[in-house]
């Protein structure tokens, strides 16, 4: 193994740069050449591949986004696209690839792996934490801190009566961000795709609140909640509890950026290092994870098909502490 | 002048606590008793008035929100409400009042002042910067920094092609926050109520951009823009430039909270101190301002009726630098 | 179990308030009365004990410091002091105590426990992460993020030639904060009490660096390093590598404050909840921990006597990535 | 005027990149070519000069440090050095130069200007705010916010008794940063070079404080205070008030980095734009300033020789509010 390529793919997540740095520096340590592949699978297909040395990743560990840029590639879903990618891998003499991304990234890698004999190792870089085989994905901790800092500011102003602050956070299929940030901000209600009954509880809380114990409430809603996003929830509340004045915040892409948290940087550094070691040890078609503080390896197919069920202890904790 | 009351009214703005502290500590310095009036005019009407000493405002200069709470009072708009307020002022023996808030607050103060002979001095505490007679209102600088920090995170991720990030900021009648934060983040377009032609320019930019010079764009839109908020703009863009993928962020009440910036704390400290001095010097019915680094006094009626026209130099600057 | 007391003791750590809130709210959930004991063991001895309800802990989850204040108590080290503490516990009818703090706190609790039959459960609230029986202590993650944010700012300016930025962080006996934050900021060297040889390596690096690969370097030094703190290291470097210009930063108590990170809040919420549950389940003389995502119980004596050895994998990782 | 060069020189200050961007973009707007000169006067002497286009300054407005790097040049103090600089200016065909820096930078420019007929316009980029001819220098507002955020964290923990937190901030000759940040954090004492009597007042305060009104105190000390820095003050306090436990923080270069505040970005954008306009209007040997919201021009010699005397109103305000 003399040349390793690395790319980032899918939605940005804070810590991707720290992972790239760790891959490149670990390669340098082992006297392996490292190559940056730009804009994910697109760069593999189009041959946008450039050598990066240890100095080339200086001063990036603290940056959000990704110096290699990212994209979602339609072309890589085609047989032709993957053929071109393979040809470029051969042209540049890459002996292994480190792919940093989420389930879309690893789905592509798994398919490619069946067709071509190129070692692929994945690093979970996504704020959604929706992959099996790792306690945390890179960017998840930062995204939650971003939500928490934003909602803290709202909380400052939340002393008016009968006011409802509804904050929409990311999470199309999973409530990980909503649940954890909701606990961290002490949200009065958390609406997530995994549970169905919260709107009633929310209305009940609002009704019960008429006695004035709480002056205002903060509701965190995952964009994928079955009720819809923040505006839809606001409309439903308006219908059933018109005495409440709802104010909406939609955080959007703020959650995908920002300087990574310390935890995400250490996680990304650990995983980037482990990914190169895994390639050196002949591993292929697996995603690096950290489970119970130890590096773990999970086949791509398994990493993307399952994801850890929501921690119901946290759901209960949220309920008890918001009471 | 032996007893001075202080309250906060209208929407929260960061730095209100610093102003309260300055009022109370300046009173203590002059051996004047200070009284906190809770929830703005409501507290004046309901007699929620409590003495505060110099220690009572320790450790609040850095806090967002207001320890005296705030509200918008319907009752104070009635003759009866104002009569009750006057009675409470007499009951507690207050010789002067410091009112911290925005145009609604000062409108009320001006009316009250015509009916009752109680010295009122105002401090401009609003993120909107829409008052005449001061270069900056308390909270404006913090709100802009809040917008800037949020949009910086979005910028991290803005390397994808043909993507439009539309960020809605506060400003129902005025584009102050949008314009200044737009310049600070290097927004590609800024949509504000004071100007009418930007949507065309926006589309032109998007069209002109097809040659790929810029990979993505950030648009700041004031909630009061004539096109509507972020979602309305996104829909218009979708119709006319379907090749662009729009992502929406609505910051909402995040902008009203947060620890005040250094500038807002110094401004609030200066104004709180000046407000007590003004009362001691027999001033009445005026708002404290800081204009060209000097304390200035503006009659309430004038402070609320006019506001500085938008700085067209900044509008031009934004255009030149975004090019 | 009808009445539970809670206090914070030792050095402040961010998240203590979140733990207090979780204790109080969990008590409320179980219809148990909760009592705040002020200034740690001092309050227990002096009877500074007051009932707190669920509303009394509103709006504190995001605050640094501790609403119950903290102290180090000399009196509790005496037989008389502990006797008074016991008498107050009886006077207020407390059936169990939750003690939030570090090794000093639990040492006291263990002694008290041998003398008096009052159930004590501990929560690890210290930035030092130096307790056995939990993966992380409350405040550790925040402290590291504080270091990281500070050093990132230094890194911005670190493009001058031959400059050495030496940053002293907390850690009298352990290099946990230094090591983890050092990895997170990409420090060129990390000096910690657990290792002895780094000064030579540092000089070597500086010497080797004369070829100009790196323009400046960041060194993180734990206050308890055998070479001394930042100033001592600066002097040693000056002697042996006079061509380097050293600049010193001493973070000090900044590391003990600040709004807790999301992770610390969730951890504190989990532990506060678990502490009350533990008391209800008849547990005594144990510290709550979270190990591999599960709540764990460790006798006080064991929690304070051992602490996890430094993770040598991280030491190696730091070396590889800084190269 | 067809080609303009721009460089940054002296100590880093946040907002330098925003100024560079404004210079380059304003040049682009006027169809002028802009050239980046690397590492200040060193780059001018060594010919490290490269063309930068409008896209070359994308995504830098938010970054601390300077993409052009900075240095202090010994060579430029020599006749030979300046001759080489002139030759390079001719070689690259630069018709004018924008110099971003502090008094050292402008001293050099003024000397050069007497020897060679090359238009120079300066932009005040320094955190020290010690230049005549502008209300604020670029970086000053950010540096103060950095101090404020750090000290706020200390304040969180400042509930212990008889504790003195001594925080050293930048300011060798001037107390601007110390005074303004001291007011913003509500420091109990502020020690600055411009005033001589504070140590006595400090001790008095500590003595007077024995009645326990304040539990702990925060002291901000400028590095150039006549008593010395934080450690020296701590030693003096220890001698005279041994009952106080002093804790020291030295912020150091943290204050020179970090993402610039909104105010610094707008200021830098305004000044960068005005600098190019000034060159186009035939101005030379002047520093751009913003005074009372208007762009102002001050000859280099005047900008560096005088600086605004400390605002004694602020000194008094600090005293009154800390009481």
In contact, A269 and C321? CB cutoff 8 Å: yes
Predicted local confidence at residue C215, as pLDDT: 72
Q: Which of C12, C95, C103, C128 is catalytic?
A: C128
Whether the per-residue pLDDT at C211 is higher than 60: the answer is no
C-alpha A193/C-alpha A183 separation (Å) is: 16
The values of phi and psi at residue C124, to 5°, are: -75, 100
CATH number at residue B128: 3.40.50.450
Whether the per-residue pLDDT at D210 is higher than 60: the answer is no
C-alpha B121/C-alpha B96 separation (Å) is: 8
C-alpha A272/C-alpha D61 separation (Å) is: 30
CA dist A76 to A20, A49, A121, B42, Å? 22, 16, 17, 64
Based on C-alpha coordinates, what's the Rg of chain D?
22
Average pLDDT over residues C186-213: 78
C-alpha A209/C-alpha A202 separation (Å) is: 10
Instruction: For residue B36, name the pLDDT band (cuts at 50, 70, 90).
Output: very high
Which residue bears the tokens 């989990």?
A: C270
Instruction: For residue C207, name the pLDDT band (cuts at 50, 70, 90).
Output: confident
The answer to whether position C315 is within a domain reads no
Counting residues of chain C whose pLDDT is more than 70, the rounded percentage is 96
A 66-125: CB under 8 A from C: none
C-alpha B154/C-alpha B168 separation (Å) is: 13
C-alpha C139/C-alpha C149 separation (Å) is: 15
Selected for mutation to probe chain D from B190, B266, B311 (highest D CB count within 10 Å) is B266
User: Which of D28, D34, D40 lies closest to D100 in space, CA to CA?
Assistant: D40
HSE-CB for C214 with a 13 A CA cutoff: 24
Among the partner-chain residues B21, B141, B144, the one whose CB lies closest to the CB of D321 is B21
The DSSP string of C117-147 is ---EEEEEB-TT---TT-S--BTHHHHHHHH
User: Which of B6, B8, B17, B12 lies closest to B269 in space, CA to CA?
Assistant: B17
Contact criterion met (CB < 8 Å) for D152 and B259: yes
3-state DSSP: chain D helix, strand, coil percent, rounded to 5?
A: 45, 20, 35
Q: Residue C128 catalytic?
A: yes
Residue A250 in contact with partner chain B when CB distance is under 8 A: yes
D13 and D128 in a single domain? The answer is yes
Average pLDDT over residues B182-201: 87
Whether the per-residue pLDDT at C194 is higher than 60: the answer is yes
In contact, C138 and C264? CB cutoff 8 Å: yes
In contact, D23 and D272? CB cutoff 8 Å: yes
Average pLDDT over residues D30-45: 97
Whether the per-residue pLDDT at D211 is higher than 60: the answer is no
- Between C241 and D291, residue with greater pLDDT: D291
A1: tokens are 């193994």
Regarding pTM above 0.95, the answer is yes
The answer to whether position A267 is within a domain reads yes
In contact, A108 and A76? CB cutoff 8 Å: yes
Predicted local confidence at residue C306, as pLDDT: 73
Closest-CA distance, A245 to chain C, in angstroms, reads 20
The values of phi and psi at residue A26, to 5°, are: -70, -40
Q: How many helices (H) and strands (E) does chain D have?
A: 11, 11
The region that residue B125 occupies, defined by phi over 0 for left and psi between -120 and 50 for alpha, beta otherwise, is beta
Whether the per-residue pLDDT at B213 is higher than 60: the answer is no
The DSSP string of A274-289 is HHHHHHHTT--SEEEE
D8 and D71 in a single domain? The answer is yes
Predicted local confidence at residue D258, as pLDDT: 97
B201 and B129 in a single domain? The answer is no
Whether the per-residue pLDDT at B15 is higher than 70: the answer is yes
D90 and D34 in a single domain? The answer is yes
Q: Are strands C49-52 and C120-124 parallel, antiparallel or unpaired?
A: unpaired
Chain C positions touching A217 (Cβ under 8 A) are none
- Sheet containing B33-37: give its strands across: B49-52, B33-37, B3-8, B96-101, B120-124, B286-291, B294-299
The answer to whether position C170 is within a domain reads yes
Chain B positions touching A255 (Cβ under 8 A) are 153
Counting residues of chain B whose pLDDT is more than 70, the rounded percentage is 96
Q: Between vectors from CA C142 to CA C139 and to CA C146, what angle results, nearest 5°?
A: 135
Residue D254 in contact with partner chain C when CB distance is under 8 A: yes
Contact criterion met (CB < 8 Å) for C159 and D66: yes
The answer to whether position C123 is within a domain reads yes
In contact, A132 and A302? CB cutoff 8 Å: yes
The answer to whether position C69 is within a domain reads yes
Chain D positions touching B293 (Cβ under 8 A) are 135, 292
B34 and B128 in a single domain? The answer is yes
Chain B positions touching A146 (Cβ under 8 A) are 153
CATH number at residue A158: 3.40.50.460
What total of structural domains would you count in chain C?
A: 2
C-alpha B153/C-alpha D289 separation (Å) is: 30
- Where is average pLDDT lowest: B31-35, B201-205, C295-299? B201-205
What pLDDT, in 10s, does the model give residues C37-89?
Answer: 999 999 999 999 999 999 999 999 999 999 999 988 999 999 999 999 999 99
CA dihedral of residues D185, D186, D192, D194 (deg, nearest 10): 120
What pLDDT, in 10s, does the model give residues B80-131?
Answer: 999 999 999 999 999 999 999 999 999 999 999 999 999 999 999 999 999 9
The DSSP string of D139-207 is THHHHHHHHHHHHHHHHHTTTSTTEEEEEEE--SS--HHHHHHHHHHT-SEEE-TT-S-HHHHHHHHHH
Closest-CA distance, D14 to chain B, in angstroms, reads 13
Chain C positions touching D71 (Cβ under 8 A) are 160-161
Average pLDDT over residues B201-224: 78
D189 and D88 in a single domain? The answer is no
What pLDDT, in 10s, does the model give residues D126-153?
Answer: 999 999 999 999 999 999 999 999 999 9
Among the partner-chain residues D62, D184, D293, the one whose CB lies closest to the CB of B152 is D62
D275: tokens are 């600098």
Predicted local confidence at residue D158, as pLDDT: 74
The answer to whether position B111 is within a domain reads yes
| Residue contacts between C and D (CB atoms, under 8 Å) | 108
Predicted local confidence at residue D160, as pLDDT: 67
D 127-166: CB under 8 A from B: 135, 141, 144-145, 147-149, 152, 155
| Cβ count near B169 (within 10 Å) | 33
Calculate the CA A196 to chain-centre distance: 24
D95 and D8 in a single domain? The answer is yes
D196 and D134 in a single domain? The answer is no
C219 and C297 in a single domain? The answer is no
Contact criterion met (CB < 8 Å) for B265 and D148: yes
User: Which of C113, C150, C105 lies closest to C130 in space, CA to CA?
Assistant: C105
Whether the per-residue pLDDT at B261 is higher than 70: the answer is yes
Chain B positions touching D147 (Cβ under 8 A) are 262
The values of phi and psi at residue D88, to 5°, are: -70, -35
What pLDDT, in 10s, does the model give residues B146-180?
Answer: 999 999 999 998 776 678 999 999 999 889 999 99
Among the partner-chain residues D165, D250, D258, the one whose CB lies closest to the CB of C153 is D258
User: Which of A129, A90, A151 lies closest to A310 in space, CA to CA?
Assistant: A129
B175: tokens are 């584009």
- Where is average pLDDT lowest: A41-45, B37-41, B216-220, D99-103? B216-220
Chain D positions touching B54 (Cβ under 8 A) are 323
The answer to whether position A312 is within a domain reads no
Among the partner-chain residues A158, A249, A254, the one whose CB lies closest to the CB of B153 is A254
| Residue of chain D nearest B142, judged by CA positions | D262
With 0-12 CB in 10 A as exposed, 13-18 as middle and 19+ as buried, what is B233?
A: buried
D7 and D71 in a single domain? The answer is yes
In contact, D130 and D176? CB cutoff 8 Å: yes
Among the partner-chain residues C25, C180, C214, the one whose CB lies closest to the CB of A266 is C180
Based on C-alpha coordinates, what's the Rg of chain B?
22
CA dihedral of residues D230, D235, D240, D245 (deg, nearest 10): 80
Neighbours of chain C (3+ CB pairs under 8 A): A, D
Residue C185 in contact with partner chain A when CB distance is under 8 A: yes
| Residue C258, beta-bridge partner list | none
- Between B286 and D199, residue with greater pLDDT: B286
C-alpha C17/C-alpha C23 separation (Å) is: 10
Average pLDDT over residues B210-233: 84
Contact criterion met (CB < 8 Å) for D249 and C247: no
C7 and C87 in a single domain? The answer is yes
Tell me if residue D262 falls in helix, strand or coil.
Answer: helix
Look up the domain containing C252 and give its range: 143-256
**DSSP-assigned letter for residue A78:** S
| Residue of chain B nearest A159, judged by CA positions | B69
Contact criterion met (CB < 8 Å) for A323 and C180: no
CA dist A71 to A8, B148, B234, Å? 8, 25, 22
**DSSP-assigned letter for residue D5:** E
Predicted local confidence at residue C45, as pLDDT: 98
**DSSP-assigned letter for residue D285:** S
The region that residue C128 occupies, defined by phi over 0 for left and psi between -120 and 50 for alpha, beta otherwise, is alpha
Predicted local confidence at residue C261, as pLDDT: 98
Contact criterion met (CB < 8 Å) for D256 and C165: no
Chain B positions touching D296 (Cβ under 8 A) are none
Predicted local confidence at residue B72, as pLDDT: 85
Domain boundary among D215, D240, D256: D256
The answer to whether position C199 is within a domain reads yes
Average pLDDT over residues D100-116: 96
User: Which of C188, C316, C152 lies closest to D62 in space, CA to CA?
Assistant: C152
D129 and D186 in a single domain? The answer is no
Which residues does chain A have with pLDDT short of 50?
A: none
Predicted local confidence at residue A162, as pLDDT: 75
Predicted local confidence at residue D201, as pLDDT: 77
């Amino acid at each position: 193994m003399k040349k390793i390529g690395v790319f980032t793919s899918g939605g940005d997540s804070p810590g991707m740069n720290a992972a790239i740095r760790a891959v490149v520096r670990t390669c340098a340590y082992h006297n392996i050449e490292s190559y940056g592949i730009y804009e994910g699978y697109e760069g593999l297909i189009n041959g946008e591949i450039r050598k990066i040395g240890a100095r080339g990743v200086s001063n990036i560990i603290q940056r959000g986004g990704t110096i290699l840029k990212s994209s979602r590639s339609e072309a890589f879903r085609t047989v032709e696209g993957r053929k071109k990618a393979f040809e470029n891998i051969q042209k540049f003499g890459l002996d292994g690839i480190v792919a940093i991304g989420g389930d879309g990234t690893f789905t592509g890698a798994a398919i490619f792996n069946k067709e071509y004999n190129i070692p692929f190792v994945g690093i979970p870089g996504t704020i959604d934490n929706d992959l099996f085989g790792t306690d945390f994905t890179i960017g998840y901790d930062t995204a939650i801190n971003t939500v928490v800092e934003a909602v803290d500011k709202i909380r400052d102003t939340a002393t008016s009566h009968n006011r409802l602050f509804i904050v929409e956070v990311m999470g199309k299929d999973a409530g990980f961000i909503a649940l954890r940030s909701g606990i961290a901000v002490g949200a009065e209600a958390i609406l997530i795709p995994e549970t169905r009954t919260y709107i009633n509880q929310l209305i009940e809380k609002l009704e019960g609140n008429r006695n004035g114990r709480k002056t205002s409430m903060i509701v965190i809603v995952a964009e994928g909640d079955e009720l819809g996003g923040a505006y839809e929830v606001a409309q439903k509340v308006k219908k059933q509890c018109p005495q409440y004045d709802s104010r909406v915040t939609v955080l959007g892409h703020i959650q995908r950026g920002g300087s990574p948290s310390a935890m995400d940087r250490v996680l990304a550094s650990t995983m980037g290092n482990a990914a190169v070691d895994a390639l050196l040890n002949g591993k292929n078609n697996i995603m690096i994870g950290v489970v119970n503080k130890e590096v773990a390896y999970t086949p791509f197919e398994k990493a993307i098909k399952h994801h850890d069920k929501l921690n119901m202890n946290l759901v209960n904790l949220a309920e008890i502490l918001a009471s």
